[in-house]
Structure 1
Amino acid sequence: MKFRTLSIHAGQQPDPSTGALATPVYFTSTFSYGTAEEGQARFAGQNPGYIYSRFANPTTAALEQKLAALEGADEALVVASGMAAVSAIMYALTNAGDEVAFIDPVYGGTDAFLRNTLTRAGVTLSRYSSDQDFAERVKANTKVVLFEPITNPTLKVIDTRIVVEAARKVGALVICDNTFLTPYLFRPLEIGADIVMHSGTKYLSGHGDIIAGIVAGRSELMQKIRTVALKHIGSPIGPQEAYLLQRGVKTLTLRMDAHIDNARKVADFLAAQPKVAKVYYPGHASHPGHQAIADTATGFGGMVAIDIEGGFAKAAVFLNNLHLFAQAVSLGDVESLACHPASTTHAAMTAEDRQRAGVSDNLVRLSIGVEDADDLIADLAQALAKL
């Protein structure tokens, strides 16, 4: 089936007891298994029945089947947040003494977890400035490399092909945070990534009403991650959130097409504005890495970033005069959102690290929603006029 069909039908079967077409929401913490022998078999993994909703829930299981199909993965796992996904991946796939690499920038929460929490488990870190930098300097003992193909918040392009090739030479696992592009536009597992993850809070949900994290990949890796995420860390998603995320995924293609179309129009408008010092948008042919995304993905996403000279003070004037764009730190909602990353999403980074990663005080990140593009452009124009 094509992607749009899969997004609706994968993982969804009429309920066997009632015939309900929509996947029921199973509000239960535990499941009866009848006999002691059956309980023993389920806990030993010899019987696929459900035991406890921290381990598995029928609503969540249907969602995971859908996401695995969309990613082209053996298995998918849904957890309580994007940060729960990052934590489970790293704790499951690394040990004390291992080397973890990441390519700047990554989401600020991920950066803080790697630097402040993972290192306490005895893992060492190396950060790289680009895919080429990683390819040239990757250490022989690197166990895992984490990157975003379009980085948050600078929209720098990281070529997955280069990262995979360099990682293979040293036997490192490749973890791709594909939140910005979604599997509709880009499927990193097909290029050789070992694990793909998302903040399901963003485009996959699309409506700003849940928190969720997604991990997908090969079975042997996913079983390790699933055990750590659900049994050890204990970060399952609730059945209500799983239901809402499944519903959101059904309209992913429709929403992403609208996000992409609006982002292109907004970026073209901003590129012509004298009060905008720079526009970051991978869909522009002049954007570094534009061709890499054009070669590997089917679209450029719905994110745009701009530089407004004058640092936080000038950025605040612009942000505070927006009306349709809500000031908020999330992204991927049907509503348009705007934020100043250096003082919000990436505030936990040191000033030196932000400068090195390109997260300047001039930078404003725009998540372009699905409103009418003319209205969004008018809102941006009147806010720029206040500068």
Structure 2
Amino acid sequence: MNKPVNYGFPTKCLYGNQITSSCDNTGAISFPIYQSATFAHPGLGNSTGYDYSRLQNPTREHLEKVVCSLENGYDALAFSSGMAAIAALMELFKPGDHIISGNDLYGGSIRLFDNINRKNLIEFDYADTGRDDITSYIKPSTKAIYVETPTNPMMNVTDIRKTAAIAKEYGLLLIVDNTFLSPYFQNPLDLGADIVIHSGTKFLGGHNDTLAGFLVVNSEALSEKLRFIIKTIGSGLAPFDSWLILRGIKTLSIRMERQEQNAIEIARWLQHNPKVRNIYFPGLPTHPGYEISKSQSRGFGSMLTFEVEDAETASLILSRVKLIRFAESLGGVETLITYPMTQTHADVPQAERERNGITDTILRLSIGIEDIDDLIDDLSQALQ
């Protein structure tokens, strides 16, 4: 019998909690791509366990089991993108429901909340979930607290245990976007969260070659609700993309270690550059979330935001970098630099951006696995 085993994290990246799969008897080391839309039945009332790939596909199922094991969850669901996962999640709520959300989120999440979910009469209040008294936002219609930690792009840290205790006291769902740290460095379900979100495009995939999203839940009830939603709206991840993410996850632990090591070195180097005003990286002891990060995470990740002296300097850096690419997205093996004001947060109202500190002098780095000296040399020439 293929019983689940509690493997260490690097082993889980390869197999999840089960070495073999019941749907494959070929001995293939690389899990097969089941590129089939539909599956035949042996007879009436008799199924192989697979009917139609919108409902479930063996490749997607295997990926979901791996991701579920990494987050220590009850179930994981794989979607066609991170935003597809969040959009499906919002279908748990009905008109009149109220959600308390972090105020410094990925711009696409804010765009969804403000333009789609509000249209459907779901109410939002944005709060600094790392500093504000969350209880002051709670009202009878409140159903959930939604946080990113660290946040995108200002790297604010929320105390997950403390927020989970508030959610439990008031009977609310706690939803945590764990994209920036990945399950290698942080497991929000273990800290009391109910639902974890990942843009699988980022660190889980790790190679900037496909889109994916995940919801990982801590209960059968949430699993059943979301399984109904994913099969109904049809946003499940395709077989080939599932395979690409499976392949990426195999090296997750190795990549995260190297990327964090590079990020710490770059953060320290930036501290000594006269054109850099501020560095937002939880791995620096001067960061206000440093102690909380140490208490709830196993590392600080490789996302780093910094502020330069003026907009002209920011523009020059973006035009001068050579090895580092000026591009959106994050989490891949290649180092990318992003200008949040016109890229990831372009659809966020200017007043709200500026209130969160996102100005024309802010740059975000997603640090990859390149040689650290090469990265520093590139930043040095770009900051001249």
Give, as a single letter, the amino acid of the residue that structure 2 aligns with 1:37: G
Does the Cα contact within 8 Å between 1:203 and 1:252 map onto a contact in 2?
yes
Aligned to 2:355: 356
Aligned to 2:195: 195
Q: How does 1:83-232 map to 2 (within 5 A)?
A: 83-91=83-91, 93-141=92-140, 142-217=142-217, 218-231=219-232
- Encode CA deviations 1:54-90: one digit per residue, 9 max, x unaligned: 1100011111111111110011110100001101111
CA shift for structure 1 position 358: 2.0
2:231 matches 1:253: no
2:2 matches 1:2: no
Aligned to 1:347: 346
TM-score normalised over the length of structure 2: 0.95
CA shift for structure 1 position 230: 2.8
CA shift for structure 1 position 35: 3.0
CA shift for structure 1 position 318: 0.9
Does the Cα contact within 8 Å between 1:13 and 1:21 map onto a contact in 2?
no
Q: Take 2:156 and 2:358, find their aligned partners in 1: how far apart are those partners? A: 11
CA shift for structure 1 position 134: 4.2
Give, as a single letter, the amino acid of the residue that structure 1 aligns with 2:256: M
Does the Cα contact within 8 Å between 1:337 and 1:368 map onto a contact in 2?
yes
Equivalent residue in structure 2 for 1:13, among 20, 24, 29: 20
Aligned to 2:4: none
Q: Take 1:244 and 1:228, find their aligned partners in 2: how far apart are those partners? A: 24
Give, as a single letter, the amino acid of the residue that structure 2 aligns with 1:122: L
CA shift for structure 1 position 307: 0.4
Q: Take 2:265 and 2:164, find their aligned partners in 1: how far apart are those partners? A: 33
Does the Cα contact within 8 Å between 2:130 and 2:156 map onto a contact in 1?
no
**Structure 1 unaligned regions, length at least 5:** 43-47
Does the Cα contact within 8 Å between 1:84 and 1:235 map onto a contact in 2?
yes
- Encode CA deviations 1:197-217: one digit per residue, 9 max, x unaligned: 100000000001010001101
Q: Take 2:103 and 2:24, find their aligned partners in 1: how far apart are those partners? A: 48
CA shift for structure 1 position 166: 2.0
2:328 matches 1:329: yes
Tell me whether 123-132 or 212-221 shows the greater mean CA deviation: 123-132
Does the Cα contact within 8 Å between 2:129 and 2:147 map onto a contact in 1?
no
CA shift for structure 1 position 161: 1.8
Q: CA RMSD in A?
A: 1.4
Does the Cα contact within 8 Å between 1:150 and 1:157 map onto a contact in 2?
yes
Residue 167 to residue 143, structure 1, CA distance change in 2 (3 Å): same
Report the 3-state secondary structure (helix = DSSP H, G, I; strand = E; otherwise coil) of the residue aligned with 1:307.
strand
Q: Take 2:44 and 2:382, find their aligned partners in 1: how far apart are those partners? A: 67
Does the Cα contact within 8 Å between 1:138 and 1:166 map onto a contact in 2?
no
Q: Take 1:19 and 1:129, find their aligned partners in 2: how far apart are those partners? A: 50
Does the Cα contact within 8 Å between 1:102 and 1:128 map onto a contact in 2?
yes
Q: How many residue pairs are counted as aligned between the two chains? A: 374
Give, as a single letter, the amino acid of the residue that structure 1 aligns with 2:171: G
CA shift for structure 1 position 12: 4.6
Aligned to 1:45: none
CA shift for structure 1 position 157: 1.1
CA shift for structure 1 position 163: 1.6
Aligned to 1:383: 382
CA shift for structure 1 position 4: 1.2
Residue 268 to residue 225, structure 1, CA distance change in 2 (3 Å): same
Give, as a single letter, the amino acid of the residue that structure 2 aligns with 1:87: A
Percent identical: 38
Give, as a single letter, the amino acid of the residue that structure 2 aligns with 1:227: F
Tell me whether 134-143 or 249-258 shows the greater mean CA deviation: 134-143
Q: Take 1:17 and 1:168, find their aligned partners in 2: how far apart are those partners? A: 44
Aligned to 2:278: 278
Does the Cα contact within 8 Å between 2:55 and 2:230 map onto a contact in 1?
no
Tell me whether 12-21 or 171-180 shows the greater mean CA deviation: 12-21
